[in-house]
Chain A
């Protein structure tokens, strides 16, 4: 096969810079849903904020900071900084919460969206880099980073009245970045699971359903019919590994998309990982619904 340089260049150009692919609705959707998500997520811990994240909370700041990445600006760093100006921790907490909620609302209504997402990125990392981090924090950080670097989409936003766009930006490369990122998420997730034997014999699914915090249902039917667990384990691996191919296909793309959404819905309901499941659904809809799936449904 002779590699035609011009052909490759055209393909890359079309894939990443096709102007007709997106009008930026995915950014608007991601912006609004992320803002709502953050408000709800913070509200679920707000009454215990000082206990969890405070400098002198249940786990003090030096222990929390030990596990945080070196370059992360943690909440305890903020408290220490303001203590230099005689500002007590409870004041810092109140300022933090007001800023977090305000920026989330700004994100929802699209007021100085990029600035709001940048502030939220720093605030979110401040509380999520310590010992309480789990999967959802990785993806919310990713979402906020993308909202910061992606161009503004002025649909359904107050920014429309503030910023005058001479020409609409080309949203396609940013959509492709989000889409490829999602493909990598599932590909590496699936490949990593594929080297674990418990995903093939159903034990991984069974163990997941028996963890603390899962929905306390009677799983006797599953225990008595182990083939269901085996089927579920194989399904997860196949869904994830082949997402990178299937999601782009004309015919099976829609079914793969729905299957992934159902998988995350199942994770939310049965494993008690509500926030993780919901945010993954948000990312999938942002990445593929508006550009690939919507046309198939209509």
Chain B
């Protein structure tokens, strides 16, 4: 292989792996900062990495090369899981129907749908975060989708639950996971009504 071609290939390999290291280091330091830094101030290196990762070229390259996410799955700890329920009620406050998710035909679709609850954790940790507005709008849109099936329905009560897993000692005596309500939305304003 020609030297020039070798240099180009090596440059690409080094560049690509550097991108991977940068994004992973950034997320690792963010997690470390969140866990151990009581001052809530970002480390200088985190700020430098954020600056490096804010360019359009970086965004484009990482999106299409699969390097825009860190590899810290279930890290530093396993994240909490959330689920939702939607109760359809009429003007007399009678329950017409209840759903835990839209009526998907396939199991994997349900699994994919439940992933939309991931921003809820950010919302609970920081009530002022944009995730708050995002989750509310998302729940409203899902409720609007569900209410379309019921002509006489007036409102939807959308609830989000935190999946509380039992401790090992509790599991032995028969306790299983429970769902604790963390937020409730009452939606009565729909474009289709």
Contact = CB atoms under 8 A, between A and B. Distances in A.
B24 interface: yes
Contacts, number: 196
B76 A193 contact: yes
Interface residues of A, number: 78
B180 interface: no
A51 B104 CA distance: 8
Contact of B134 (A60, A63, A195): A63
Given A121-B64, A184-B20, A223-B171, A51 B115 contact: no
A176 B112 contact: no
Nearest to B13: A177
A142 interface: yes
Contacts of A129: 63
A173 B28 contact: no
B116 A60 contact: no
A257 B154 CA distance: 57
A58 B13 contact: no
Interface string B1-36: 100001001101100110011001001100110011
B60 A71 contact: yes
Nearest to A206: B168
Interface residues of B, number: 68
A266 interface: no
A188 B83 contact: no
A204 B1 CA distance: 48
Contacts of A135: 73
A205 to B, nearest CB: 9
B163 A192 contact: no
Interface string B51-77: 000001001101111111111111111
B17 A125 contact: no
Interface in A161-220: 170, 173, 176-177, 180-181, 184-186, 188-189, 191-199, 203-204, 206-208, 210-213, 219-220
20 contacts: A44-B107, A45-B109, A48-B104, A60-B141, A63-B134, A70-B59, A72-B63, A133-B115, A141-B66, A142-B67, A145-B66, A173-B10, A173-B13, A181-B17, A188-B28, A193-B75, A195-B35, A196-B75, A219-B171, A223-B171
Interface of B: 1, 6, 9-10, 12-13, 16-17, 20-21, 24, 27-28, 31-32, 35-36, 56, 59-60, 62-78, 81, 83, 102, 104-109, 111-116, 118-119, 134, 137-138, 141-142, 145, 163, 165-166, 168-169, 171-172, 177
Interface of A: 12-13, 16-17, 41, 44-48, 51-52, 57-60, 63, 66-67, 69-72, 121-122, 125, 129, 131-135, 138-145, 149, 170, 173, 176-177, 180-181, 184-186, 188-189, 191-199, 203-204, 206-208, 210-213, 219-220, 222-224, 226, 229, 272
